[in-house]
Structures are given as structure tokens and as C-alpha cells.
A and B are shown apart, each in its own frame.
Chain A
Amino acid sequence: MNYLRPERLDALARAHALGTLSPRAARRFARVVASSADAARAVAEWQGLLSTLEEGAPGSPAPRARVWDAVQQRLFEREAPARAAAGASRGASSGAGWLRWPLALVAGASLLWATLAWRPQTFGMEPLSGAAPASYVGVLQDPQGRPLLATSARRHGLVLTVRLLRPVAPAPGQALTIWAWSDTDSTPHRIGDWTAAGSTTEVALPTQAETLLGRMTHLGLSLETAAAVPSAPTRPFIAEGPCAKVW
């Protein structure tokens, strides 16, 4: 059956969003949605329409405090042993020699792409336009006021390019972690981390830089435990600086 014929797709998307497909049909259609952008868009369109039916509907009492406690318990109570196991697993897999060459190829291609995109003049090429692309840019200085790190992320990009301007050598098990905060909310939020000691690294962002950095005015760099995913810096910043919109 061709699920992607427009009329059929719309009917399935409507039923999927509404929740009226049988469990078996729902599972089958979920696979279609996962593999087809058209199907995902069709479902999202119906979900958006149905969500308007929430407006003006009656509320309920707030959930009791035990709900949040239970969520935290389920997610984080056994976190430490799980992370240790994950770290051990990463250590074991790092010995897989067959992965090294493909990974090196991917890393090399990524570096080439980043260099072409960021500094095309390295290869004797010029940017297509004289204007720099709309980006979030930061230059972080150490406590002595010396530039330590430059960062750049295209406004709608999913990558933060970080370039160490002076060597920083994380100890084994440590990661360089970048944080951002705003003038109105001084709470630092973790943006990403990396362990490579190379001068230029691309840090993947989970969503567009605009969403993550749009209201941020400051960036900070700290050294954190690599296996941990801290929600707040656990150590002093080794560099700080402004986060500026360049457009």
C-alpha cells in the first residue's frame, strides 16, 4: 500500500494525530512517519490543529510534588553507576582499530568542510559574499585578559565551531565545557563540550544556535569531568567573554 498518496496520507495523519488508529496500524504508520518527511509534516499539521482545541479547555489542579520527585528518582537516582558503565564501554570501544580509519576520514572531511566554510582563503578561495554570514561570535579571555578561545555559530546552524587560541590541555577524563548566560539571568547553561585537544573543533548543537544563544550575552569555559553532564559549572571558568550577534 502506498501510504504517501496525498488523500490516504492525510487520512492516516489525521487518525494518527487523533489517536484513532488501531495499535497495529499506528505502529506501522509510525514507521512511515519516521522515514518520510511528507508523512511527518502531515502528522505535525494535524497535531498543530488539534492542539488549538486545548485553548480554553478546563484546567486541573497542579500535579502533586511527588510527581516531580518520582521523575527525578527514575531519571537520576541510578545515574552514577550507569555513567561509569558508559565510560567503561567507551573505553573498550576505543580499542576497536577497525573504526579508526573511517573515523579519521570523517574527521578529516569535517575539518576540510569547516575550514572551507569558515576560512576559504586557507585554500586560496574567497567567500562567495564579502559579508560574513549571520553568526553568534564569542572571544573568551582568561583571568589575565589574554584571548583563549574564539567561537562561532551560524545563526541557524547546528554547529558551534570553537578555536583554541592558546593551548589548553585537559587532564585525562576532563572535557572543555562551554556555558552561556544572559544579562537578565546569570545562570549559566551548558551549550556543549569537547575533549579533543586540537585547536579547532566543531561542537554539535541539539537545535539552531538562534534558539540556544538568542538571548545570551556571555560565554564561559570550564574544565569538567568528561563522563558527567553537569547542569551547572562545577569548577571556576578558565575563560569568559561576550557572546555577540554578528549581523
Chain B
Amino acid sequence: MARRTDQPDNEDLARWLSWVALGDRRAFEQLYRATSTYLMAIAWRVLQHRDLAEEVLQDAFVKVWHSAGLYDARLGLPMTWLINIVRNRAIDLRRSRANSLINPHGDGGGDAALESLATPGAGPEQWLDAAIHQTGVQECMGQLTAAQRQALALVYYQGLTHVEAAQALEAPLGTTKAWVRRGLDYLKACLQGRGVVAS
């Protein structure tokens, strides 16, 4: 499966965002062209539906146009800011349509290209493995239990609530919450200890 290597340069993103805050439509288009495919994948992983992922992307960029001036470089990278806008919108949409939308196996919105991404063996847990591998800190992953990895991957990549993750894992709610909490706390300490994220 193709992995993404297309994350744009954060310095360019910061500059485009500041121009967008000044109403610069060309910078807005540059920002869209540079990030939309990357951000689309985030929405798709939560929704597993092409049309809805595109709807999220549309909503997210409308929000970016209106709130680019709120991006604060002191708090984080521009891509992190964009990822959160898209992911939050995707989670909101997923939960508002929880009963009618999600096919846990991913129907890909009827799109063959997306169906290929939802094949067995290429689920959230494998995405988490790949992310940790990509950051070069596999030892962080090795310390997580299988249950922690599964719970964390379901909640992060697919936007599941704790209740939904507990049902998917057929585990008690409190246990599932603890897996997610301890998994994240461990990852934070491990990634900070290796300088991958700021401490």
C-alpha cells in the first residue's frame, strides 16, 4: 500500500496561511493544492466514504479561509493545525451519522480505489505500526501491548468513541479507556524521550 510522502513544507504552509488571513485567494489555492490530498486521507480514514470525506474537506477549507488568522505558530505547526480542523470535522460528521454511515469494514463510498485501501491486513493497527516505524522509534511501539495498540488505533484513526472501541474490541469500557490512556501516555513519554516531539 502506498504510504504518504507528500507532506508539504511547514514553512510554506505558515506563509500561505498568513496570506490567507489577509484574504489572498491565490495563497488559499496554493494551500489547498499542497495539502488537500494529504488531508483527504485523514477524513477518509475516519469516514471510510469518499463523498463524505470530500464533504469534510470542503467544510474544513471554508473554515480555514475564515479562521486562518487564528493559527498561532507558537502553539504548533501549521500542518498540525490543519489536521485537527479536518479530523475534528470528520469525527463530528461520523458521530452525527453514526447509525447510518459507517460500515466497519469500509465500503469506500463505492469507489474501487478506496476499497483497495480497506483490505484486510491494512487497518488502523497497521497504520499505527507504520507511523511509529516512519518516525524511527519502533521501540516505542514495542512497549505497547497489543490491546493498547488496537484501542489507540481505533480511537485515533477512525474517530471511535470509547464506547464504540470497547464494543469493537469486546472489552469492558473502563478497560478500553485505560488502554487508550496508558498507550498515549506511554507514547508521549517515549516520543518525547527520543526528541521526536517537544517535551
Chain A residues 38-66 with CB under 8 Å of chain B are 40-41, 44-64, 66
In chain B between 154 and 174, which residues have their CB closer than 8 angstroms to a CB of chain A? 155-157, 159, 161-162
In the complex, the answer to whether B73 meets A57 with C-beta atoms within 8 Å is: no
Segment 2-45 of A: residues with Cβ below 8 Å from B = 11, 14, 17-20, 23, 40-41, 44-45
Query: Looking across the interface, which residue of chain A has its beta carbon closest to that of B70?
Result: A206
Q: Are B162 and A59 in contact (CB under 8 A)?
A: no
Bound-complex Cα distance A11 to B1 (A): 35
Contacts of B111 in A (CB 8 A): 61
A: contact size bracket: 35 or more
> Closest CB of chain B to A9's CB: distance in Å?
14
Are A207 and B21 within 8 A (Cβ)? yes
User: Which residues of the other chain, A, contact B107 by a CB distance below 8 angstroms?
Assistant: none
Return the chain B residue nearest A14 by Cβ: B184
Contacts of B155 in A (CB 8 A): 18-20
Chain A minimum-CB-distance residue to B153: A53
B135 touches A55 (CB 8 A): yes
Complex contact B61–A71 (CB within 8 A) = yes
Task: Please tell me if A98 contacts chain B, counting CB pairs below 8 Å.
Answer: no
| Contact across chains for A231 and B26 when beta carbons are under 8 A apart | yes
**Contact indicator B41/A59 (Cβ below 8 Å):** yes
- Is the CB–CB distance between A207 and B131 below 8 Å? no
* Whole-angstrom distance between the Cβ of A97 and the nearest chain B Cβ: 30
Per-residue 0/1 for B82-98: is the Cβ within 8 Å of any A Cβ (1 yes, 0 no)? Answer: 01100110010001000
Q: Tally chain B residues at the interface, Cβ within 8 Å.
A: 81
Report the separation of the CA atoms of residues A53 and B23 in the bound assembly, to the nearest whole angstrom: 32
Contact A206 B1 (CB under 8 A): no
For chain A, residues 188 to 247, give those with C-beta under 8 angstroms from any C-beta of chain B: 189-192, 205-208, 211-212, 214-215, 229, 231-232
Alpha-carbon separation in the docked complex, A49 to B191 (Å): 8
Report Cα–Cα, A236/B32, bound state, in Å: 29
Q: A58-B117, A190-B19, A231-B23 are in contact. Are A211 and B83 (CB under 8 A)?
A: no
Contact of B76 among A47, A189, A231, A232 (CB under 8 A): A47
Partner of B77, one of A48, A53, A68: A48
Q: How far apart are the CA atoms of A28 and B187 in the complex, in Å?
A: 27
Q: Is the CB of A67 within 8 A of B58?
A: yes
Q: Is the interface of B mostly helix, strand, loop or mixed?
A: helix
A52→B196 contact, CB < 8 A: yes
Chain A residue at minimum C-beta to C-beta distance from B65: A75
Contact among B4, B95, B188 for A57, CB-based, below 8 A:
B4
Judged by a CB distance under 8 angstroms, whether B179 is at the interface is no
Asked whether any CB of chain B lies closer than 8 Å to the CB of A70, the reply is yes
In the complex, chain A residues 129-184 whose Cβ is within 8 Å of any chain B Cβ: none
Which residues in B have their C-beta under 8 angstroms from that of A205? 18
> Counting CB contacts under 8 A, is A187 at the interface?
yes
Report yes or no: A51 in contact with B130, Cβ–Cβ below 8 A: no
Instruction: Compute how far the CA of A70 lies from the CA of B62 in the bound complex, rounded to whole angstroms.
Output: 10
User: Are A57 and B41 within 8 A (Cβ)?
Assistant: yes
Which A-chain residue is minimally distant from B76 (CB atoms)?
A: A44
| Interface contact B180-A20, CB-CB below 8 Å | yes
Cross-chain contact A62 with B133 (CB below 8 angstroms) = no
When distances are taken between beta carbons in the complex, the residues of chain A under 8 Å from B191 are 49, 52
With contact pairs A45-B198, A206-B69, A207-B73 given, residues A212 and B57 touching in the complex (Cβ less than 8 Å): no
Which residue on chain B has the smallest CB distance to residue A209?
A: B18
Q: In whole angstroms, how far apart are the Cα atoms of A110 and B76 in the complex? A: 30
CB distance from B123 to the nearest CB of A (A): 10
Q: Is the CB of A76 within 8 A of B25?
A: yes
Whether B17 pairs with A207 at a CB distance below 8 angstroms is: yes
A-B contact pairs, 6 of them (CB 8 A): A20-B180, A57-B3, A60-B45, A61-B111, A205-B18, A211-B15
Q: What residues of chain B have their CB less than 8 Å away from a CB belonging to chain A?
A: 1-4, 6-7, 14-15, 17-19, 21-27, 29, 32, 36-38, 40-42, 44-45, 50, 53-54, 57-58, 61-62, 65, 68-69, 71-73, 75-77, 79-80, 83-84, 87-88, 91, 95, 111, 113-114, 117, 122, 127-128, 130-135, 155-157, 159, 161-162, 180-181, 184-185, 187-188, 191, 196-198
